Amino acid sequence: MNTPSNDRDRMRQEAARSVSRRWFMQDCGVGLGAVALKSLLAENATAASGNPADPLAPRMPHFPPKAKNVIFLFMAGAPSHLELFDNKPQLAKYDGQLPPPDLLKGYRAAFINPNSKLLGPKFKFARHGQSGQEISELLPHLARIADDIAIVRSMTTDAFNHAPGQILMNTGSQQFGRPSMGSWALYGLGAETRDLPGFIVFSSGKKGPSGGNSNWGSGFLPTVYSGVQFRGAGDPVLYLSNPEGIDEQEQGRSIAAINRLNRMRYESVGDPEINARISAFEMAFRMQSSAPELMDISQEPKHILDMYGAEPGKPSFAANCLLARRMIERGVRCVQLFHEAWDQHGNLVNDLKANCRDTDQACAALVSDLKQHGLLDETLVIWGGEFGRTPMVQGGSDGRDHHPNAFTMWMAGGGIKPGLTLGASDELGFNAVEDKVHVHDLHATILHLLGFDHLKLTFRFQGRDYRLTDVHGNVVKKLLA
């Protein structure tokens, strides 16, 4: 019999969409290496999991991946590249002067009149490590791991408002409705653990991310691929705790009864979906103990806590960094930490000091810690915000406006060439001029490191094969180790 669709890949999509959302199958903790190398798009791709209806079954990407996990340290609000990574002596020289008029042609700014005076960098830079990477005095901890990271000083983006900028950085489009990067990774690779969600999100800082949940949403991908928000205090994940008055024994007894009754129904109607629900309840019950265990950083030795600057029982960006490592250890595919604090329209100097105090140590610790746990090779760490900040001043002399033409991000681990400084902006830090890396290129590169040809990781929606990179993107070869 011909099913109405004889396209296997479509079947898998359809299965993922409308049939079983199995969070786990038995014994699926199979590492990438253990799975036979099969192309995601091969005819028998679904056969690899043995279950076409399991959207989270581990799958092999297009080619052997360099990284299998991603941690994105998302510095929401847009940090100033000019104070942190992109040293511009000329900008210091022209401080207080107007920018050259042709630089501003067609330039749109969010708040300021673009024809505002240039503002020299507020902090000093020095070269660090054997690689001699140039890093600001605000980031002493990162400076110590300069040789482990690659700094991209030539990032560009299309958006200069927060919500569209963040949505673009996280989903590849300024228009809402596209799947987030983490969702794509989960869709492509499946999950390695079923004891925890495959894509976990934290939020710290002054505000929540602009654009909210859509930053980690699954867009038109099945909802099973969307990120799940955790938090550092109280219930780490919503509704994890038993209702008041119900102890573990009572909960266990109830879940056992639920599953026995579900099994009886399965025996009578035979719908495999019931089995998936039975598994979901078992998993939920396990998660009720595994998630608090995961979140309990007091189990970490003191020197590790000190290394991050994390304190048990006190939610912080530092604690979230440490949790990110613990999650990667437990097989979580993607972790994204949102830290909204970087929108320095004013109070640039003091806010940057405070922000770096809050984040620098933990970011550096995360990379070092992953390294000492042997996880850095297979984990891609990304640091950056949605855009950069204007070389021109906003307000008196202590603020910068949004700026999409040039900004800096850094990456480490997972197939990234360590110690590399890639690209350059012009002498004022206004336009990226050398080895420009657009957000789409970044996405293409991330997918490449995860083993995907970004042109081929697609999902059919509304008659079109959508990609994370839409119709753009080039892998930045120079970044690859």
User: Of the candidates 49, 133, 157, 210, which one interacts with other proteins according to CB under 8 A?
Assistant: 210
The CB-of-263 to other proteins minimum distance in angstroms stands at: 10
| Window 92-131: residues binding other proteins (CB under 8 A) | 108-111, 113
The CB-of-476 to other proteins minimum distance in angstroms stands at: 21
User: Of the candidates 65, 172, 188, 209, which one interacts with other proteins according to CB under 8 A?
Assistant: 209
Is residue 252 part of the contact set for other proteins (CB under 8 A)? Answer: no
Output 88 or 389, the one with its CB closest to other proteins: 389
Residues 185-204, mask of contacts with other proteins (x by CB under 8 A): ------------x-----xx
Alpha-carbon gap, residue 28 to 192, rounded angstroms:
7
Element (H, E) at 382: strand 379-384
Alpha-carbon gap, residue 126 to 143, rounded angstroms:
9
Residue 190, judged by CB atoms within 10 A of its CB (0-12, 13-18, 19+), counts as buried
The CB-of-420 to other proteins minimum distance in angstroms stands at: 30
Output 2 or 97, the one with its CB closest to other proteins: 2
| Window 146-175: residues binding other proteins (CB under 8 A) | 160-164, 175
Spatial CB neighbours of 249, under 8 Å, sequence gap ≥ 6: none
| Window 275-304: residues binding other proteins (CB under 8 A) | 276-278, 280-281, 283-285, 287-288
CA 293 vs CA 194, 288, 289, 390: distances in Å: 15, 9, 6, 44
| Window 361-390: residues binding other proteins (CB under 8 A) | none
The stretch among 124-132, 147-155, 224-232, 354-362 that binds other proteins (CB under 8 A) is 224-232
Interhelix angle for 317-329 vs 348-372, to 10°?
A: 20
CA angle 158, 163, 169 (to 5 degrees): 50
CB of 389 within 8 A of CB of 398? Answer: no
Output 125 or 285, the one with its CB closest to other proteins: 285
The CB-of-295 to other proteins minimum distance in angstroms stands at: 15
Site size for other proteins, by CB under 8 A?
104
Q: Tokens 């991000």 appear where? A: 409
CA 200 vs CA 79, 117, 163, 373, 388: distances in Å: 23, 42, 20, 20, 26
Is residue 396 part of the contact set for other proteins (CB under 8 A)? Answer: no
CA 452 vs CA 184, 447, 477: distances in Å: 10, 5, 14
User: Of the candidates 33, 101, 270, 374, which one interacts with other proteins according to CB under 8 A?
Assistant: 270
| Window 420-459: residues binding other proteins (CB under 8 A) | 455-456
